[in-house]
């Protein structure tokens, strides 16, 4: 970390100046003055192509942004992360999700111990177990093979597995039923299990801590469901496995430690889909495809670690994101995958980006005087076009967009894929260049409608292009965003790896729960709004 506070660094000051000169310029001018712009403002890494020419930057902006990264100590910070330093200072932990995809034989040390052999031992155990389930060799309590797998977890123990399952459906063994239960709302569990036979159902209880209220509540309900269906406590051993770092809690829950797959405190929840937390993914797509996904992650790790800043995809996207968030004060980013299989990718990214960089104090605990992590949202194209794109085209907010597209479809069907690609290119073009009032008039539009039909343009976007969405490509995409988050966190000087902001709500909920459940009128010491709501709910429920 640089000892100079971010907003006093030389490059930051220069960027404030740069912002004043660039913010009035239009992408139309940038392109008309510079026919080589697209060729220059694009790069390729680990097989992903990034076009970032439709951003409101000059060559000078990019140079200054890279200088800011260097001044902020990005290069040292990157080495410190890969090396296993305890960079998550508020939790005193290393941050080593990159070790989860290090190839066999690589070396990564935590407290003097090489962790790569343990990573591969776990992968081997996961693979053997996944194969047993896939082949039907893993039998339930009654001797029937398991055909349904239900992952119970929340946050990082759910969003990654769900996203990967949806993204890699073409690789999923279709005769297995794979479901996910996360919400403490009983509806989630009830709907996920209503048509399943307990004799053929395996629950994968995924929780780093094995204390998360939602997951433990769902796991207990699953155990009851299983016992009611199968009539014996002994069934738990054949129908429950756990993925956790907390062996004692797993055992206390009643799951045989031999049915537990571990990971380590240096894997953050939202960075864990490629750890044992990916067990449901591995069962679904098979160990070989899972390892291809890990190889994709690793390829992007290597690109991030070794490519010069000007040719580095995660660094480039991180700097552009920071440019809009901190200088243009853009409060959102739209993630727009033009692939139906990526329908859960924006939800996955919401935790990755917002739980990581939704912080307002710097690493030394002082309030920051600049804007940090924006709100991420998105939907797969073309659905979003018929919903919220209106605001992105003509609203008052500046919404930088990340378009993601694939040259080939997993489901070639007539002209569908050409139409999909035509749409993603058209959207990026329309956002950047818009349509002027003169152009609208030139089309014979009545004068009263001209302002309504004018598109201001100058709305920035990146386009990430890959050949097809396969396991390796998914790994590359996820690692790309992990490293974007890291890079931004380093420059903003915030800890991207803790999540204290989720604690207060958890603590208050455990205080309110007995107040809702109590048979006697409980003394309530909340604010008048919360007290009144508790009384009203109790009243509605006849208490």
Would you call 506 a catalytic residue per the annotation?
A: yes
CA distance 152 to 148: 13
Q: Rounded to the nearest 10 degrees, how much is the dihedral formed by the CA atoms of 21, 24, 29, 33?
A: -10
The least CB distance from residue 499 to ligand F6P, in Å, is 5
Q: Which of residues 299-328 bind ligand F6P (CB under 6 A)?
A: none
Angle at 217 between CA 216 and CA 220, to 5 degrees: 85
For residues 84 and 155, which CB has a smaller minimum distance to ligand F6P in the complex? 155
For residues 338 and 376, which CB has a smaller minimum distance to ligand F6P in the complex? 376
Q: Does 269 bind ligand F6P (CB under 6 A)?
A: yes
Choose which of 215, 218, 312, 326 interacts with ligand F6P (CB under 6 A): 215
Choose which of 72, 88, 193, 212 interacts with ligand F6P (CB under 6 A): 212
* Pair 305, 482: CB distance under 8 Å: no
Which residue in 199, 91, 222, 95 sits closest to 153, CA to CA? 222
Element (H, E) at 401: strand 401-406
Would you call 355 a catalytic residue per the annotation?
A: yes
Choose which of 190, 391, 407, 502 interacts with ligand F6P (CB under 6 A): 502
* Pair 102, 266: CB distance under 8 Å: no
Using CA atoms, how far residue 328 sits from 16, 57, 324, 429, in Å, is 10, 12, 5, 21
**Distance of alpha carbon 369 from the chain centroid:** 26
Element (H, E) at 221: helix 213-230
Going across the sheet that includes 375-377, the strands are 42-45, 48-51, 461-466, 401-406, 332-337, 375-377
Choose which of 53, 207, 458, 473 interacts with ligand F6P (CB under 6 A): 207
User: Regarding beta strands 401-406 and 240-244, do their DSSP bridges make them parallel or antiparallel, or are they unpaired?
Assistant: unpaired
CA distance 349 to 163: 10
Catalytic residue among 16, 467, 506, 521: 506
The least CB distance from residue 41 to ligand F6P, in Å, is 35
* Pair 42, 51: CB distance under 8 Å: yes
The least CB distance from residue 79 to ligand F6P, in Å, is 25
The least CB distance from residue 194 to ligand F6P, in Å, is 24
The least CB distance from residue 93 to ligand F6P, in Å, is 13
The least CB distance from residue 272 to ligand F6P, in Å, is 7
The least CB distance from residue 206 to ligand F6P, in Å, is 7
For residues 157 and 350, which CB has a smaller minimum distance to ligand F6P in the complex? 157
Length of the chain counted residue by residue = 543
For residues 154 and 222, which CB has a smaller minimum distance to ligand F6P in the complex? 154
CA distance 235 to 256: 11
Considering Cα of 279, then 281, then 154, then 80, what sign does the dihedral take? positive
For residues 193 and 207, which CB has a smaller minimum distance to ligand F6P in the complex? 207
Catalytic residue among 386, 438, 443, 503: 386
Q: Rounded to the nearest 10 degrees, how much is the dihedral formed by the CA atoms of 530, 532, 535, 539?
A: -130
Q: Does 280 bind ligand F6P (CB under 6 A)?
A: no
For residues 201 and 350, which CB has a smaller minimum distance to ligand F6P in the complex? 350
For residues 207 and 316, which CB has a smaller minimum distance to ligand F6P in the complex? 207
* Pair 245, 229: CB distance under 8 Å: no
Q: Does 401 bind ligand F6P (CB under 6 A)?
A: no
Choose which of 55, 93, 239, 270 interacts with ligand F6P (CB under 6 A): 270
**Distance of alpha carbon 518 from the chain centroid:** 39
Mark 328-367 with x for binding to ligand F6P (rule: CB under 6 A) and - for no binding: ---------------------------x------------
Distance between first and last Cα of the chain = 56
Catalytic residue among 166, 355, 482, 515: 355
Using CA atoms, how far residue 273 sits from 270, 292, 359, in Å, is 7, 14, 23
For residues 155 and 287, which CB has a smaller minimum distance to ligand F6P in the complex? 155
Pick the stretch among 28-36, 154-162, 363-371, 422-430 that binds ligand F6P (CB under 6 A): 154-162
Choose which of 208, 291, 344, 459 interacts with ligand F6P (CB under 6 A): 208
Which of the 8 DSSP states describes residue 354? Answer: I
Mark 471-500 with x for binding to ligand F6P (rule: CB under 6 A) and - for no binding: ----------------------------x-
Choose which of 2, 157, 362, 488 interacts with ligand F6P (CB under 6 A): 157
Which residues are known to be catalytic? Answer: 355, 386, 506
Binding residues for ligand F6P, rule: CB under 6 A, are 154-157, 207-209, 212, 215, 269-270, 355, 499, 502
């Amino acid at each position: 970390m640089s000892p100079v506070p971010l907003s006093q660094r030389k490059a930051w000051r220069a960027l404030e100046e740069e912002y004043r000169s660039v913010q009035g310029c239009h992408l139309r001018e940038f392109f008309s003055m510079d026919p080589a712009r697209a060729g220059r403002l694009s790069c390729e890494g680990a097989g992903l192509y990034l076009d970032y020419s439709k951003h409101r930057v000059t060559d000078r902006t990019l140079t200054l942004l890279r200088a800011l990264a260097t001044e902020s100590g990005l290069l040292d910070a990157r080495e410190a992360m890969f090396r296993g330093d305890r960079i998550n200072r508020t939790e005193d932990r290393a941050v080593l999700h990159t070790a989860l995809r290090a190839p066999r034989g690589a070396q990564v040390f935590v407290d003097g111990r090489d962790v790569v052999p343990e990573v591969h031992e776990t992968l081997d155990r996961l693979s053997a177990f996944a194969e047993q389930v896939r082949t039907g060799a893993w039998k339930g309590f009654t001797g029937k093979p398991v055909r349904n797998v239900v992952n119970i977890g929340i946050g990082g123990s759910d969003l990654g597995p769900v996203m990967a399952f949806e993204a890699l459906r073409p690789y999923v063994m279709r005769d297995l039923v794979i479901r996910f239960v996360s919400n403490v709302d009983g509806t989630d569990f009830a709907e996920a299990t209503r048509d399943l036979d307990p004799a053929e159902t395996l629950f994968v209880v995924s929780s780093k801590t094995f204390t998360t209220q939602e997951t433990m509540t769902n796991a207990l309900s699953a155990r009851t469901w299983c016992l009611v269906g199968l009539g014996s406590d002994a069934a738990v051993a054949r129908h429950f496995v756990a993925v956790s770092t907390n062996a004692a809690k797993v055992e206390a829950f009643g799951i045989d430690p031999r049915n537990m797959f571990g990971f380590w405190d240096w894997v953050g929840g939202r960075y864990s889909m490629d750890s044992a937390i990916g067990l449901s993914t591995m069962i679904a797509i098979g160990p070989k495809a899972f390892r291809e996904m890990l190889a994709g992650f690793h390829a992007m790790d290597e690109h991030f670690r070794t490519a010069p800043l000007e040719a580095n995809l995660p660094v480039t996207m991180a700097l552009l994101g920071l440019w809009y968030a901190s200088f243009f004060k853009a409060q959102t980013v739209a993630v727009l995958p033009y692939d139906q299989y990526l329908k859960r990718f924006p939800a996955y990214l919401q935790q990755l980006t917002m739980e990581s960089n939704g912080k307002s104090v710097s690493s030394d605990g002082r309030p920051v005087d600049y804007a940090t992590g924006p709100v991420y949202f998105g939907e797969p194209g073309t659905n979003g076009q018929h919903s919220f794109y209106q605001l992105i085209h003509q609203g008052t907010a500046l919404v930088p967009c990340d378009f993601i597209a694939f040259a080939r479809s997993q489901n070639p069907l007539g002209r569908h894929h050409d139409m999909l690609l035509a749409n993603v290119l058209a959207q990026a073009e329309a956002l950047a260049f818009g349509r002027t009032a003169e152009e609208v008039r030139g089309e014979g539009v009545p004068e009263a409608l001209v302002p309504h039909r004018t598109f201001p343009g100058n709305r920035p976007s990146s386009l990430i292009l890959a050949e097809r969405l396969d396991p390796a490509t998914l790994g590359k995409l996820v690692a790309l965003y992990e490293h974007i988050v890291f890079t931004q966190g380093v420059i903003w000087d915030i800890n991207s790896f803790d999540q204290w902001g989720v604690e207060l709500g958890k603590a208050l909920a455990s205080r309110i729960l007995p107040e809702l459940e109590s048979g006697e009128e409980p003394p309530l010491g909340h604010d008048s709004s919360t007290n009144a709501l508790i009384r009203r709910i109790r009243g509605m429920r006849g208490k």
